[in-house]
Amino acid sequence: MFRRSFLPVWLSLALGASSVSAPAAAESSAKEISTVEISDGVTLRRAIWRTPDPQGYVLLLHGFPETVHAWDAVAAPLAETHEVHAFDWPGYGLSSRPPAERFGYAPRDYARVLKAYLATAGIDRSRLTIYATDIGALPALLLALDEPGSARRIIVGDFAPFDRPGYMYPSLQSLKSPATAEPVRAHMNRTRDEILAGTFYRGLPDSQRFEISDEFAKDLRLGWDAGDMSSADAFYHYYASFTRDQAYLEKNAGKLRTAGLKVIWGRKDLYIDERMGVEFAERVEAELILMPDVGHYPHLQAPARVSAEIRAAFR
C-alpha cells in the first residue's frame, strides 16, 4: 500500500537535518578500495566497509557526477553492523570506460553491470538492501524486474522512472532529445569545473548548503576525464537509451509491487520534481519519504537520515 511520509521537524533534527561534515564522517570509517573485473573490458573500482559477522549487506549506487567517495558519511554508521559496498559505474570515477560501440552505458547496460557485481562480490541477496539514486536507480529496478530476488529491499530516489520531461531540469530534457543532446554534452564538457563546483547545491538556499570532503572533491575532478570518455560523455550515452528503458519500466511497473520498495526524495530537488517520486511510489505501492529542505542529493546533504532509512529496511 502506498504511504507518503513527511519527516517532522523534530525527527529531522534527530536524524541530522543540519549538514554532517563529510570529512569528519570519512575519517571515522575504514573502507577498502580495490578493483574488480566483472566482464571482458569492464573493471570497477569499488569500496567496501567491512564488519565482523555482518547483520546484512548494503549496496550503494551513485548518480551523476559522483564516485564511491560520495557514500562515506552514509556508509560509516552502517558499517558498524553491516557490510557496505559501493562501486563507480563505468564512465565514472576510476572504473573502466569501454568504447560506446562495445558498451552502451544505457540503464539496461548498467543493470547487467549490477547483476555481474552481485555475482562477483558473492553478496547474500536475501540479506541485501540496495540504495540507488539518480542514474543508479533505474538499473536497480530493471534488474529487479528481471530477477525479483536481486535484493531483499530496494530504496530508490531522486531519479526519473518514467518519461516525464516536464518534471526534469531543462538540460536533462534536452539530453532526452537527439536533436539537442549533442550540444548539451559539449557544453557539459566545457563547463566541467562549474558543474563540479555547483551541481550538488543548485536550487538550495545558502542556509541549506553543505560540504563535501576534500577527498570526494578531488576524486570528482580526477574521475571526470579518467580515460577517453568523460563522465559527461557517459551521461550522454545513458540518456541515448533512457526513454526506451523508462518505457519498459513503466509498462512493467506493476510487477514491482511485491519488491519491497521504498522511495526517498528531497523536496527541494531542482533536477527531478518530487511529483515524479509521488507518481512512482503510487504506481508501485511503495512507501514514500519526502525530505523537507533537502535537494537532489539526500545522501550528501542529510547522510544520517539516509543511513537511518537504510538501517530501518532490515527491520
pLDDT tens, residue by residue, 186-244: 999 999 999 999 999 999 999 999 999 999 999 999 999 988 899 999 999 999 999 99
- Grid coordinates 533537502 are at which residue? 294
Across 30-46, average pLDDT: 93
pTM of the model: 0.91
Q: Which fold has domain 3-312?
A: Rossmann fold (3.40.50)
pLDDT at 155: 98
From residue 230, alpha-carbon distances to 91, 130, 185, 307 in Å are 7, 26, 10, 30
Average per-residue pLDDT in the chain?
91
Q: Residue 33's pLDDT band (boundaries 50, 70, 90)?
A: very high
pLDDT tens, residue by residue, 63-90: 999 999 999 999 999 999 999 999 999 9
Distance of alpha carbon 84 from alpha carbon 129, whole angstroms: 10
pLDDT at 156: 98
pLDDT at 22: 38
Q: Which regions of the chain does DSSP assign to beta strands (E)?
A: 3-6, 32-39, 42-49, 57-61, 83-87, 128-133, 153-157, 261-266, 287-291
pLDDT at 178: 93
pLDDT at 277: 98
Q: Residue 4's pLDDT band (boundaries 50, 70, 90)?
A: low
pLDDT at 10: 28
Type and span of the H or E element at 38: strand 32-39
Retrieve residue 290's grid coordinates: 519526502
Distance of alpha carbon 29 from alpha carbon 17, whole angstroms: 21
